[in-house]
Amino acid sequence: MNPSPDRARIVVVANRLPVAQVAGKAGKEWKTSPGGLVSALAPIVRERDGSWVGWPGTEGPPPPSFVHEGLFLCPVGLCQEEIDSFYQGFSNSTLWPLYHDAVRWPEFHRHWWKPYTLVNERFARAAAEVLQPGDVAWVHDYHLQLVPSLLRTLCPDTRIGFFMHIPFPPVELFAQLPWRRSILEGLLGADLIGFQTKNCARNFEIAARRFSSARGTGSLMDFEGRRVRIDTFPISIDTAQISAQAAKPETARLAESIKQGLGPERRLILGVDRLDYTKGIIHRLRAFETLLERLEDGAQTVTFLQIAVPSRELVPQYLDIRTRIEQQVGHINGTWGTAEHVPVRYLYRSLPFEELVAHYLAADVMVVTPLRDGMNLVSKEYVATRANGDGVLVLSEFAGAANELTEAVLVNPHDIDGTATAMQEALAMPPEEVHRRMGALRRVVERNDVHLWADSFLGALFS
């Protein structure tokens, strides 16, 4: 008999461990990685005496399993060749662009596929080694889509859940993938496959019916004599943690000094993203320049601050998009800047969490305009900091978050004029409307936080 959902041990299988090695006083030491996923899953794994299987993020043989802050961690090693082919290649140059509406050309290379299968097998074996009867395996994301079926072969009685953090593309795009059947059969090894949105779940069902032997409609499919449930679990944030950080007096002080630094009476429009071509930063900059053209003299009263977190710097498309963004920032500042005013401020780095929250608090308008995004947590984090009920969120309709945050100012990021108009309206929005919209948005992130997301997924896995 399977244990109840609140007692089973959980083995999380994810590309990355929830820790990274940093330089400490006594040499290298492990530090918990920031982020909502870690803060949601770590307590569940810890309380239930579970484990976390993942790559430590550096090349070479893995260290032995170890306990960090009460979490049992099982490192999986990758050699340099596998980092190039499995991680930067198949995961981030084939699957990532293909699954994000092919906003960049996905590269299909046979010599990347084999390492993808081999690394997935290694993850499955590492998970099988720690799984005990009655445990549950929760596999995460596009890097590990073969793990559910591999694990099913190794541990046939284990309940297996899979959650896809990024979109699942429409079948017309997915059909391009030469290994489409293997990927679908890999995922169908799970008992439950979770997606961010209903559209993604539907895309998967259509692809599974077309390219595998899975049958069924709606949220239940039959595959190789088993029932597979397909469902939607929109991920969220640790709302209480972010709200508490925003409420600290030191955060308010820091936000005030950020505002003062812009100059008197200036309004702040903020963008925060990993530097990724899916996040629409170039389109956003073009929209901001269009806004400056329209504002003419008023251009002096507004600043756009883009925080771009370095990401996948060894993948050529990322280097290319960084160069283009930096050229565009230079172009706008060269054209519109004065000795007193720099219209675009650009930070290419990751800020400490406390500073990130202070920037959210300082922003009059938050622009989150990805060309495609599974969910987008930044949009939800901004909302969580607005205890005063002010601030306007401009949000792409192509972010999964747009399904929930319907009171944001929704935009098509490809429509540069439309996005500029949305920014302009956001800056001029009457306070009553700002408060009404933000109130509605806050109710959404207060109701659905990352803990509810994890509980809903695990509840469904046991039902």
Applying CB under 6 A, the residues found at the interface with ligand GDG are 34-36, 165-166, 235, 272, 274, 307, 309, 350-351, 353, 356, 373-378, 381
Q: Between residues 115 and 194, which has the closer beta carbon with respect to ligand GDG?
A: 194
DSSP letters for 333-374: HHHH--SS--SEEEEESPPPHHHHHHHHHH-SEEEE--SSBS
Rounded CA-CA distance 351/320 in Å is 23
CB 308 within 8 A of CB 325: yes
For the bound state, the minimum distance from the C-beta of residue 281 to ligand GDG, rounded and expressed in Å, comes to 13
Q: Least distance from C-beta 384 to ligand GDG, angstroms?
A: 10
175, 206 in Cβ contact below 8 A?
A: no
Distance CA 333, CA 328 (A): 9
* Cα separation, 462 vs 456, whole angstroms: 10
Is residue 238 among the annotated active site residues? no
Q: Which is nearer to ligand GDG, 245 or 290 (CB)?
A: 245
Q: Annotated catalytic, 373?
A: yes
| Nearest residue to 410 (alpha-carbon basis) of 441, 455, 386 | 441
Report d(CA 165, CA 148) in Å as an integer.
15
DSSP of 181-250: HHHHHHHTTSSEEEESSHHHHHHHHHHHHHHSS-B-STTEEEETTEEEEEEE------HHHHHHHHHSHH
* Candidates 141, 191, 373, 449; catalytic one: 373
Minimum CB distance to ligand GDG smaller for 105 or for 353: 353
In the complex, the smallest distance separating the C-beta of residue 94 from ligand GDG, rounded to whole angstroms, is 16
Give every CB contact of residue 364 below 8 A, 6+ residues apart in sequence.
Answer: 267, 268, 269, 390, 391, 392, 426, 427
Structure token pair of residue 369: 């305009």
- Write down the least CB distance from residue 458 to ligand GDG, Å: 16
Q: How far is the CB of 84 from ligand GDG (least distance, A)?
A: 21
Taking alpha carbons only, the member of 371, 390, 160, 130 closest to residue 255 is 390
Query: Quick one: 131 or 305, whose CB is closer to ligand GDG?
Result: 305
Q: Tokens for 373, please give them.
A: 């995004």
The Cα angle at residue 439 between residues 433 and 440, in degrees rounded to 5: 95
**Nearest residue (CB) to ligand GDG, 34 versus 439:** 34
Nearest approach in angstroms of CB 250 to ligand GDG is 16
Mapped onto helix, strand or coil, the DSSP state of residue 54 is strand
Query: In this complex, which beta carbon is closest to ligand GDG, that of residue 50 or of residue 167?
Result: 167
The H or E element that residue 162 is part of is strand 159-163
Pairwise CA distance, residues 216 & 441, whole Å: 36
3-state DSSP assignment of residue 455:
helix
Which is catalytic among the residues 68, 84, 101, 165?
A: 165
Choice between 117 and 311, CB closer to ligand GDG: 311
Is 155 or 362 the residue whose CB approaches ligand GDG more closely? Answer: 362
Kind and range of the H or E element at 159? strand 159-163
Q: Rounded to whole angstroms, what are the CA distances from 262 to 105, 184, 301, 304?
A: 39, 50, 9, 10
Residue 289, both tokens: 């320049």
**Least distance between ligand GDG and beta carbon 381 (Å):** 5
Min. distance of Cβ 193 from ligand GDG in angstroms?
A: 15
Positions marked active-site: 165, 373
